[in-house]
Amino acid sequence: MSARSVTAVASPSLALVKYWGKSDAKRNTPATSSVAVTLSGLESRTTVTPTPPDSEEDVVYIDGAQQPAERFSRFFENVRRVIESDLHFDAKSTNNFPTAAGIASSASGFAALTVASARCAGVDLPPENLSAIARVGSASAARSIFGGFTHLAADAEQATTLFPCEHWPAFRIVVVAITTSGKGVSSRDAMERSRRTSPYYQSWLEDAKLRSEEARTAIEKRDIERLGTIMRLSYLRMFSTMFSCDPPIIYWHPTSLSLIHLCETLRGEGIGAWETMDAGPQVKIACLESDTEVIIRRIEELRPECRMYVCAPGTGASIIETDEW
Ligand code: DP6
């Protein structure tokens, strides 16, 4: 039985080891294996209602702005196929952090949309199946269905949990929001351009195979230094494929670079600050709770204009409200 409306929440999935490139663009499966952490405190909140029976359109609003239908058409077609229904959906989503600026709002957004749409249609699916549905929208969203530390293998349809939130309570990510303006090139287009035009793309795929297993072991041992070293290799090699595109893609802002250098200085002083970046100028810093205060103070001194969010390993996507008929 379908519901009148369902509201779900999900948090961004920050990749410690990056997914960059697709093994199959139609299925939207990743070419590289990724390891991520779901971020507490940052959240997409999505309310889904079925559209009237004669309606043939799905409508999505994010932070009040209607989204282009083509970004969602394959996702909703797949939802209807899986739930064996011809329902169409009206979705309204809000983020409590900057949208489409490299803080993985598509991961949390599609995860919340998946969970709310399935329940709205009256189907109860296990997280594995929800993860596979979310992946069609955005591969990183397959990870956001789960909490804690997650893994999405190369060519996989669904993500898995590596370790729950409680495994490493002292682990923190400081998200430094440098600018709230959206990105110029979507991560999807940037991946495709990397595949088509970067002479380093094949080497990236080859090298990336090693990183996920190494990261899993570092997380298992709660070894921030080992994990941080792997994170840096992963994001800097991912960006090497972008810098070497034709035309090149440069998401970095001067402030991004100054924060990368600050992390290097902090590590030189014995403070474990390990940065990573995604398809945008924001810098995310992995550290331990005990070092968070000093890291924040040093960022404030250097770049007082930056907004910061301190996140612990967070929980997976969930339903927070259902209005039944
Ligand atoms: C750099 O999941 O946004 O954040 O599957 O095309 O929607 P699509 O891409 P998306 O890409 C995320 C790329 C990344 C790294 C990561 O999250 O693993």
Query: What pLDDT, on the 0 to 100 scale, is given for residue 100?
Result: 61
Burial tier of 208 (Cβ tally within 10 Å: 0-12, 13-18, 19+): buried
Q: Residue 18 CA: which ligand 1 atom is closest?
A: 18
CA 135 – CA 131 distance, rounded (Å):
6
CA of 54 to the centre of ligand 1 (A): 35
Residue 55 predicted with pLDDT over 90 = no
| 166 DSSP assignment | G
Residue 2 predicted with pLDDT over 80 = no
Weakest-pLDDT range from 130-134, 138-142, 206-210, 253-257: 206-210
The HSE-up count of residue 288 (CA atoms within 13 Å, CB side) is: 13
Amino acid identity, position 65: A
pLDDT-based confidence at residue 54 (cuts at 50, 70, 90) = confident
Residue 270 predicted with pLDDT over 80 = yes
CA 291 – CA 298 distance, rounded (Å):
11
Burial tier of 21 (Cβ tally within 10 Å: 0-12, 13-18, 19+): buried
What residues pair up with 24 in beta bridges, in sequence order?
Answer: 29
CA 101 – CA 258 distance, rounded (Å):
18
CA 97 – CA 256 distance, rounded (Å):
18
Alpha helices by DSSP H, 153-253: 187-197, 201-220, 224-243
CA 32 – CA 9 distance, rounded (Å):
27
- Mean pLDDT for 11-17 is 97
CA of 140 to the centre of ligand 1 (A): 5
CA of 104 to the centre of ligand 1 (A): 7
What would the pLDDT profile of 158-188 be if each residue is shown by its tens digit?
A: 999 999 999 999 999 999 999 877 658 999 9
- Mean pLDDT for 70-74 is 93
What would the pLDDT profile of 226-241 be if each residue is shown by its tens digit?
A: 999 999 999 999 999 9
- Residue having the nearest C-alpha atom to atom 7 of ligand 1: 138
CA 235 – CA 19 distance, rounded (Å):
10
**CB of 279 closer than 6 angstroms to any ligand 1 atom:** yes
Q: Residue 30 CA: which ligand 1 atom is closest?
A: 5
What would the pLDDT profile of 122-151 be if each residue is shown by its tens digit?
A: 999 999 999 999 999 999 999 999 999 999
| Tokens found for residue 71 | 């970004």
Query: What pLDDT, on the 0 to 100 scale, is given for residue 101?
Result: 61
pLDDT-based confidence at residue 3 (cuts at 50, 70, 90) = confident
Q: Residue 14 CA: which ligand 1 atom is closest?
A: 17
What residues pair up with 96 in beta bridges, in sequence order?
Answer: none
What residues pair up with 34 in beta bridges, in sequence order?
Answer: 152
Q: Which residues contact 163 (CB under 8 A, 6 or more apart)?
A: 148, 149, 219, 220
CA of 68 to the centre of ligand 1 (A): 19
